[in-house]
Structure 1
């Protein structure tokens, strides 16, 4: 599993603690220091089955400063991935990537299904 986080994010901290407490084997990746590239993001978005907008950190300052609320729905998947790859703080976190699943954000029930 690949766990992508921003270490100062409280939700990321909860998710990481959950993984550790459940003995999950995962690789940890800092979302800003090692921002996913556009090709990775596109693959994850497609595998997740979620709308592209779910991968945007809509409550973040960068999202608001860039006035993306009106623009994000107009972006193609390629444009969205390129934009997300330019600034890790635009990406909703944490991300948990497995062979079969891509989880965005932290919901304990979703994580429990992955850990089993």
Structure 2
């Protein structure tokens, strides 16, 4: 039985809209969660991080102005501190984030999306 797909999205995000369109075109069902209204919990973010290949860099929007303004040295901060920062300020998360608990797709990635069907 396939585990349900959770789709963390933000409506004005172009990559989120493209991914949503792809999911609809391929009849992939998912549970949509607005990234800022239904922010991932600490445990959810830890599970998402466990699925990454690059760790925090894979889900953190390091090119965002908000992140640059924060002047955070990722080598000087604990993972739990960084997860708490992401919960407080989910704009720092790359989007969209899709996971079924076993796989993780960050950003609009048609090749990775094909693995869902």
Q: TM-score, normalised by structure 1?
A: 0.88
- Residue 80 of structure 1: aligned partner: 82
The residue correspondences of 1:59-74 to structure 2 (distance < 5 A) are 59-68=63-72, 71-74=73-76
Check the 8 A contact 1:35/1:87 in 2, yes or no: no
| More displaced 10-residue stretch of structure 1: 17-26 or 58-67 | 58-67
Once the two structures are TM-superposed, the CA of residue 48 in structure 1 deviates from its matched residue by: 2.7
For structure 1, which runs of at least 5 residues remain unmatched after alignment?
A: none
Q: Which structure has more helix as a fraction of its residues?
A: 1
Matched, 1:34 2:33: no
Check the 8 A contact 2:47/2:101 in 1, yes or no: no
Alpha-carbon separation, structure 1, partners of 2:94 and 2:75: 16
- Residue 3 of structure 1: aligned partner: 7
For structure 2, which runs of at least 5 residues remain unmatched after alignment?
A: none
| Structure 1 residue ranges (4+ consecutive) displaced by more than 4 angstroms after TM superposition | none
Once the two structures are TM-superposed, the CA of residue 101 in structure 1 deviates from its matched residue by: 0.6
Check the 8 A contact 1:39/1:81 in 2, yes or no: no
Check the 8 A contact 1:32/1:88 in 2, yes or no: yes
Check the 8 A contact 1:97/1:103 in 2, yes or no: yes
- Residue 95 of structure 1: aligned partner: 97
Once the two structures are TM-superposed, the CA of residue 55 in structure 1 deviates from its matched residue by: 1.2
Write out per-residue CA displacement over residues 67-103 of structure 1, whole angstroms, 9 at most, x where no aligned residue.
Answer: 23xx123322212111111111011110001131111
Once the two structures are TM-superposed, the CA of residue 21 in structure 1 deviates from its matched residue by: 0.7
Matched, 1:16 2:20: yes
